[in-house]
Amino acid sequence: MIKNILLLIILLAMPFQLIKANIIILNGLTHNYNIEAGKVYKGKISIENTGKQTQDVKLFLQDFMYNADGSIIYSAPNTNVKTNSGWIKINTNLIRLGAKEKAEVFYEITVPKNAPDDGSYWSVIIVEPVEDIKPTHDKPGVSITSVVRYAIQVITDLHSENAKPDLKFEGIKIEKDEHKKILKVAIANKGNLYCKAVTSIDIYNKKDGEKIATLFSHAMGLLPQTSKSFQIDLSTISSGKYNAVLIATDENENAFALNIELEIKDD
């Protein structure tokens, strides 16, 4: 027992050095395809090593989901009912990039002939530098390297003309973020099709109904059966009580509205 305690103290006393990986993705973190049953689609991931040393990089598939509370859930392939990970084959799982070198990794999506229901299916290709725990030469202990992982979404929309998103408001709150007042709107996609959504709010004076402002969030992608927190800056609105209309809109201009009473308080 005493030996174990001493060992723990020694490990905690060792110096650790954090090193940033220098791998970047050049062609985006979301790859979207409109697909048909029985067909094959090809894609690629463009990777660059911006560092001055050779870097090994591994690639592998995972399923994932996310929620408006900020949680992201990664799981083994074929654990999500809406996964397409079984359709995807990557041409290599490991590459070595020299200093300042670029490379392309290719993948194929083979859609089953007996493809499931219409709508979106997805998984992610994880791109992760391979880092070893290396002994330091100038001081006792080990050097532990931080790892920057990229999750590249591969989203496949099967017969998208027969599917649609269905946006629902799940929560509304105002929070202070540094010197700003932020309206956080949790929105879920209860439909069966991926979409890019944006949230806006029309704010009206309670006394005479005059519109005071229309404010917008940034657009964000929203997969089926997931949710995200859309944020709108209210800092330009004076404290008080207002009538307001929240509107969630997808890229096809399908709109979902909600009437609310908005109260903005002084700091």
Q: Compute the distance between CA of residue 217 and CA of residue 230 in angstroms, rounded to an integer.
A: 6
Q: What are phi and psi of 160, to 5 degrees?
A: -60, -20
pLDDT band of residue 138 (cuts 50, 70, 90) is low
pLDDT at position 1 is 40
- Average confidence score pLDDT of the chain: 88
Query: Is pLDDT above 80 for 210?
Result: yes
Q: Where are the domains of the chain?
A: 17-160, 167-264
pLDDT at position 82 is 95
Q: What's 214's DSSP letter?
A: E
Query: Is pLDDT above 50 for 147?
Result: yes
3-state secondary structure of 60: strand
Tell me the pLDDT tens digit for each residue of 174-202. Answer: 998 888 899 999 999 999 999 999 999 99
- CATH code of 167-264, in short, is 2.60.40.2360
Interior angle at CA 202, CA 189 and CA 221, nearest 5: 25
Tell me the pLDDT tens digit for each residue of 30-49. Answer: 999 999 999 999 999 999 99
Query: Is pLDDT above 70 for 146?
Result: no
Nearest to 125 by CA among 89, 101, 158, 72: 89
pLDDT at position 90 is 98
Query: Is pLDDT above 70 for 63?
Result: yes
Could you tell me the pTM of the whole model?
0.84
pLDDT at position 130 is 92
Options 3.30.1370.60, 1.20.1070.10, 1.20.1440.80, 2.60.40.10; CATH of 17-160: 2.60.40.10
pLDDT band of residue 148 (cuts 50, 70, 90) is confident
Portion of the chain with pLDDT greater than 70, in percent:
86
Q: Compute the distance between CA of residue 92 and CA of residue 244 in angstroms, rounded to an integer.
A: 52
Query: Is pLDDT above 90 for 137?
Result: no
Q: Compute the distance between CA of residue 127 and CA of residue 29 in angstroms, rounded to an integer.
A: 10
Contacts of residue 117, Cβ cutoff 8 Å, sequence gap at least 6:
158, 192
Evaluate whether 17-160 and 167-264 have a shared fold: yes
pLDDT at position 121 is 97
Contacts of residue 161, Cβ cutoff 8 Å, sequence gap at least 6:
none
Tell me the pLDDT tens digit for each residue of 119-136. Answer: 999 999 999 999 765 555
